[in-house]
Every structure is written in structure tokens, then in C-alpha cells.
Amino acid sequence: MRTIQTQKNQFLGGYGVQSSPWQPVGNYKRISLTQVKDKAQLSNTHVHWSNTGDALHGMDTSVTTGTGQWQAGITDVKAKYFRIQATNGHATETLTTDIWVNLLP
């Protein structure tokens, strides 16, 4: 297992969106995500997939979603590279989040 923190103390404004840099998957088969938010508020976490590491070729939407302060999700690997997109689902409330990815055999 390999762990990568893709978002650290990431601030998201109302309806804010932030994507991490592309990361190579290597020989791993699954990706699990854990997310901690500064408050219980609606958010989504998407996994973007790339065959080249510089362009979006696919997406798993809402791997974590909901209003809980702590969330987790898991998905199968779909390409050679991934990045994590964090979104704030509230129009006026801000959100700060930390997201970790675990690459699993």
C-alpha cells in the first residue's frame, strides 16, 4: 500500500473546486480515499483518470459525497494516472479539507 496526501488544508470557497496534480498509479489495482473536513457540509470528491498524465480521459464521480465531516470511498484503477478533485457543495459557506489516497494492490 502507498499513501499520498493529495489535498492538505485545502480551502474551498462557495461552490469551490480544486484538483490535485496528476499522480502515477504504478501497479496498484484499487484506490481508497479518506477525507476530513473542518465541518459537516455537503461536498464531493471525484477521481480523474488519465492515460498520459496531462489530460482528463475519464472520471469516477462522487467517490465520497455527503455532509459528513469524515468520509471514505474506494474505486478500481482505470488508467495510468489519477488526480483528486475536491468540490464544495455549498454556495456561500467555505470549506477546508484534507484528502488522502491509498493505492492498494
Q: Round to whole Å and give the CA distance between 68 and 3.
A: 22
Q: What is the pLDDT of residues 6-58, one digit of tens each?
A: 999 999 999 999 999 999 999 999 999 999 999 999 999 999 999 999 999 99
What type of residue sits at position 73?
Answer: G
Q: Round to whole Å and give the CA distance between 82 and 52.
A: 10
pTM, entire model:
0.94
Q: Round to whole Å and give the CA distance between 61 and 19.
A: 13
Residue 62 scores a pLDDT above 90? no
Fold of 2-104: Jelly Rolls (2.60.120)
Q: Round to whole Å and give the CA distance between 93 and 15.
A: 8
All structural domains of the chain with their residue ranges: 2-104
- All 3 cell numbers of residue 89? 457543495
